[in-house]
Structure formats: C-alpha cells, structure tokens
Copies of this chain bind each other. A is one copy, B any other.
Amino acid sequence: MSDMNQWLHEKLLELNVTDSMKQPDGFTRLSYTEEEKSAHQAFRSIAEELELDVQSDQAGNLWATWMISTDAPTIATGSHLDTVHNGGGYDGAAGVLCSLASIKIMKDEGITPQKNISVVCFASEESARFGVSTIGSKAVSGLLNQDELADVPDADGITIREATEHFGLTWETFNQAERRIDELESFLELHIEQGTQIEDQGAEVGVVRGVACPIRLKVTAYGMANHTGTTPMNKRIDAFAGISPLIPFVEEQANQLNQSSDLPLVATVSTVHLKPNAMNVIPGEVQLGIDIRSVDDSLKRELADRIMTYCKNREKESKFTIEVETLVDNASIFLDEDIQQKLQKACDQTGYRAIELDSGAGHDVMNMAVKWPSGLIFIPCKEGISHHPEEYASIEDLYKGSLVIAEYLRIETGVEHENRNRNHRTS
C-alpha cells in the first residue's frame, strides 16, 4: 500500500473511531451525541497534524483552515461525520477524509495556494435523531429557524436545544454560526454516490448537476381501535387495512411517472406508526411517512397530488378519515456551473473519467449552494449501498477523490499545473 493509501486507511479508521471498518452493526453516531463528538475530536487531531488551524463554531461545526493570508479569500471543502442508526463509515466521512487528504497532497507537493482553504466538518447532517437534517450547514448558511427547532425532541424526548447544550454549545448563540457571504468564496463537497450510476456508466467520478430535494408527506388514517376477537368484520373501522393499499400505490405511481419522464423520480413509504400496535386491538390510527424525490420538482408535485387524490377517494368510499400533511416541500437545487466545469477539468487533468449526474440525496452542499457558488462530486460506493452496515468505498476510490479535490483546489487557488499522467490511478 502506498503511503497515501496507508494514510487514508488509517485516518478513515480514526474518523470512524474504530480499529476495523467491518462492523456487523455498522456505525451509529447520531446528531449532537458523544459519538459524533468523538469523531469530531479525531477530525481535530488529524487537522492539527496537517498544521491546520481548527476552530469550532457556535453550531458545533469544525473549520480547519490552511491560512495563507487574512486578506486572501477563503474557499471551503468538507462534509459531515454523523451517521444514521447502524449506518456506514463513508457517508459524510468520505468527504471529510478526502478534503483533509487533498490538503496533505498539496502540502506534500510543497504547494502554497493563493487563497485560504478551510476543511469543514459540519455537525449533524443526518435527520435520524431529530427528523431534521443538515443542522450545522443550515446554521452556516443562515437557513436555520432556531425557534421552530428548539423543542423538537428525539425518541427519548431530549430536545435539540438540550442536546446541543449537552454537546457544549450555547443555544442563544447557536445561529451566530452563520457566515457572511464575503467570508467564503465557494464550497465543494465530496460524497459517496449512494447509487450505481458512476459504475453503470463505466466512469470513476461523478460531477453533480442538481440535488433532488424531497417532498415529504405524513398520511394519517383514523379508524376505531377495538378488540380483534369480538368486533365482527362488518363492524370494524380498521385504519391499517383501510390505508394499506396506498403503500403499493405509491410504488406503482412512481414507476408509471418514470416511464414518461427523462428525469428519474423515487418515492418510498418509509415509516409507519400504528396505534396501539397491539396483537389483540384493531389498529385505530396509522401514520405513514412518504419520501418523494426528483430534481424535476413538477414530477414530485405530480406524485404528491396523486397521493392526495387517492387519499380523498379512499376516504369517500370508506368509514375512516385521512389527513395528508406536507412536512417538507423543498425545490431542488442546481449547483454552480462554473464549479462543475472546474471539477470536470480537475477530473480530466487527473485522468479520471467523470460523468454528469444528479443527486437523489440531500447533502450539506444544498444549504451552502443557497449562499455561495458550490459544487458536489461523487465517488462510487459498493453496489450503491448506503445507510447500512455494508456501505463501502474502496481506499483506491477515496484516493481518486482526494486527488480530484486537490486538483480542483489548485485550479481554484491559482496554482494549476500541467496535465498529469495517470500514474496516480495505480498508486
């Protein structure tokens, strides 16, 4: 293993606070927990080894800066280190690791950029704990509605406010993590693809054009809880039996819409809560959570409309009532075209074949893109598996990603060099 690959391997373990990436239960580092904090400590150590200046902001994001001059503009690159329950060690960590590695590559090559470069480790990107995603990058971009969030609880009833204060932050100053527009020039995130388009198209890197933000619906059906043994079939209002045909309907309609559109749509009934969820009681209330994504916002809205119409019709023909609530409806984000071109150029110069694609998942970059010119690159991950203990990206692909970031940073910071040969690919 080359020195750089060895370094990536070691630092990947460190960022995951583990001595082996093979974990049957994966990694669980929820938002603003001790586990996330331990990973942040590892980030701090590695950044300090690279002689970066590490600062924590008021939202718990870490900024590790290669400070060239206080007069020079600052460009940033990074991702996050928190995970879902039993997630993988690459979603987020890959971007943080490759950003740090790109600094190492530049430093090892004796380059001095003409701009400051910050590697940022955003806090709490995943929504697994509070149902709210990208808290850290929302704060940086000024998109966080602190009042709305303060009392949002996790499964144990601990609120975001309590969790952040327990994390060592001060809720009153949380939103001071916002950066002024002139404090940053641009932002780049690297992430694992969480899909297989790069591999399917025989490429090595993906340059992302748009990020498909979700529409999320909460569908609640109200029936009548009653004893399963004593309530005749014709006297029951079973909320679960009543609403359940909606579940395959969502899948069918998504497939149908995909046939008539160039841009893909995905839709999932991903959560269910039954009341009382007891073997001898007829379900009196069912709540389904539906996640709909496409970079084509009109396609998302078409499916949401079909679901609402379906629920209205079900309600008319049956005894139970149905409510449909829109939890989230965010327009999709298109990334900066100039940065996309520079990323394409960085791939060309490092000799890696890049494809253009869209992101089905939200990432910190979608917040940063609202305020600053921003870019997103994908590296492949095994079989597209993510949010799962089997999530995996090879050290080779992490190395490629690091080289592409380093090359992009050279272009952005005015230290571009001659076209490189492809030796890096096998190092």
Contact = CB atoms under 8 A, between A and B. Distances in A.
Given A227-B361, A255-B233, A216 B279 contact: yes
Given A244-B248, A279-B271, A235 B361 contact: no
Contacts of A278: 84-85, 127-128, 270-271, 387
B291 A279 contact: yes
Contacts of A245: 244-245, 248
A38 B310 CA distance: 48
What DSSP secondary structure best describes chain A's contact surface?
loop
B228 A270 contact: yes
Interface string A260-288: 00001111111110101111111110000
A268 B238 CA distance: 8
Interface in A8-62: none
Interface stretch (A64-72, A182-190, A192-200): A192-200
A400 B193 CA distance: 71
A272 to B, nearest CB: 5
A35 B224 CA distance: 26
Given A216-B279, A226-B387, A269 B248 contact: no
Contacts of A225: 387-388
B272 A277 contact: yes
A153 interface: no
A135 to B, nearest CB: 15
Nearest to A378: B230
Number of copies: 2
Given A248-B241, A271-B278, A277-B271, A214 B226 contact: no
Contacts of A289: 279
Interface string A210-251: 001010100000001111111111111010110011011011
A227 B126 CA distance: 12
Contacts of A131: 279
Nearest to A250: B241
A194 B282 CA distance: 13
A359 interface: yes
Contacts of A241: 247-248, 250-251, 268-269
Contacts of A293: 228-229
A247 to B, nearest CB: 4
Nearest to A126: B280
Contacts of A351: none
Contacts of A247: 240-241, 244
A213 B258 CA distance: 48
A235 B386 CA distance: 13
A86 interface: yes
Contact of A251 (B238, B284, B291, B360): B238
Contacts of A373: none
20 contacts: A84-B278, A195-B231, A196-B235, A224-B388, A225-B388, A228-B266, A228-B360, A230-B386, A231-B360, A232-B266, A235-B384, A241-B247, A241-B248, A244-B244, A244-B247, A270-B277, A270-B280, A270-B282, A271-B279, A280-B291
Given A85-B276, A272-B272, 4 more contacts: A127-B280, A225-B388, A229-B359, A233-B258
Closest 10 CB pairs of A and B: A229-B360, A194-B230, A244-B247, A229-B361, A230-B360, A195-B230, A228-B268, A241-B251, A228-B291, A229-B293
